[in-house]
């Protein structure tokens, strides 16, 4: 029987390879993994517990809140707060960031941004959902309270990013800026085990992913590209959970697009919680991520916690082909 490297072992090995590593960053990654296990357990039992359906609220960016959104958000914040090694967190579900200054005896260098449950509207019909996270090194002094600028950094400043996909199997995929590695959750031993080391996205794929229900609101350039995809007999695949769509793109190649529309002229997805972390991960796997103006997502200036943008992400050749047609 082959023994698989666990997430904890992988993180510790990585820490040993870094000079002057304090263990703070490694500990933060491990706590994110623990929170993911708890959320995974509840997602798998969602049909048996009273946590399906709408909560009745609207979050700070105008999206309808699901009961599981609240649970996943509370769980991630609780584990990060209790870790003692996270300075604070900004979540898609909260209007403002949360400062852990009063709870931390040791002043932490790192802050975390999260989309606690991406695609949560799919959970009622048993379709894959996910958690997205990014880690930044804070800009303010460790002995002071956090400031908005600690979170509103360019994606190029991320020190780690990843996602957890709750599907037919549960996977945690992350990068610290070197390689991209995928871990599958083994329920028998209760650990994430390394199954996909050094993941690389194909240079080209046969799939494109976009919500064509908004086609009448897309720009002429996006419509031109979609016509091209139809002529080339490209296969359309769209799940409605960015984590699931990007995971397929990472594994099989292709392109994922979430362009601007008339109702969301700047785009709908959040830079901090969705676009930056997934862009870092795709780039480190050999892919590319830009907005409709062909600007690199990771270079975009971030001024607000819930700032939005358009995104075109995936295999290099597919993204370049799309941008040549979008203009």
Which residues are the active-site residues? Answer: 63, 69, 92-93, 115, 117-118, 274
The 3-state DSSP class for residue 84 equals coil
Neighbour count for residue 145 (Cβ, 10 Å): 13
CA distance 152 to 134: 12
* Residues whose CB is less than 8 angstroms from the CB of residue 220 and which lie 6 or more positions away in sequence, other chains included: none
Q: What is d(CA 179, CA 248) in angstroms, rounded to the nearest whole number?
A: 18
> What are the tokens at 324?
């040549």
Cβ–Cβ < 8 Å for 281, 297: no
Q: Which residues of 311-322 are buried (b: 16+ CB within 10 A; e: fewer)?
A: bbbbbbebbebb
Query: What DSSP element (H or E) covers 258?
Result: strand 255-258
Following DSSP, what letter does each residue of 270-322 receive, concatenated? EIIIIIHHHHHHHHHTT-EEE-TT--BGGG----STT-EE-EEEE-HHHHHHH
């Amino acid at each position: 029987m082959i023994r698989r490297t666990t997430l904890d072992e992988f993180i510790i090995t990585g820490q040993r390879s870094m000079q002057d590593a304090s263990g703070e960053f490694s500990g933060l990654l491990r706590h994110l993994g623990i929170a993911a296990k708890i959320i995974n357990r509840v997602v798998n039992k969602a049909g048996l517990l009273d946590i399906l359906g709408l909560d009745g609220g609207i979050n700070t960016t105008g999206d309808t809140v699901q009961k599981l959104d609240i649970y996943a958000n509370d769980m991630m914040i609780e584990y990060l707060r209790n870790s003692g090694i996270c300075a604070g967190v900004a979540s898609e579900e909260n209007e403002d960031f949360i400062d852990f200054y009063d709870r931390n005896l040791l002043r932490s260098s790192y802050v975390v941004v999260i989309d606690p449950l991406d695609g949560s509207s799919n959970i009622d019909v048993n379709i894959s959902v996910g958690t997205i996270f990014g880690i930044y090194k804070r800009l303010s002094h460790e002995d002071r309270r956090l400031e908005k600028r600690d979170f509103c950094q360019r994606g190029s400043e991320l020190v780690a990013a990843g996602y957890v996909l709750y599907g037919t199997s549960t996977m945690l995929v992350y990068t610290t800026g070197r390689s991209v590695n995928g871990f599958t959750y083994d329920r028998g031993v209760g650990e994430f085990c390394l199954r996909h080391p050094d993941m690389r996205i194909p240079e080209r794929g046969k799939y494109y992913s976009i919500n064509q229900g908004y086609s009448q609101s897309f720009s002429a350039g996006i419509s031109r590209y979609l016509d091209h995809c139809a002529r080339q007999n490209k296969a359309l695949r769209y799940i409605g959970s960015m984590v699931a769509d990007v995971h397929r793109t990472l594994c099989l190649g292709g392109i994922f697009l979430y362009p601007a529309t008339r109702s969301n002229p700047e785009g709908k997805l959040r830079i901090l919680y969705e676009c930056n972390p997934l862009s870092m991960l795709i780039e480190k796997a050999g892919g590319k991520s830009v907005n409709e103006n062909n600007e690199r997502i990771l270079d975009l200036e971030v001024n607000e916690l819930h700032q939005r943008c358009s995104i075109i992400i995936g295999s290099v050749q597919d993204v370049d082909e799309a941008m040549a047609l979008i203009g």
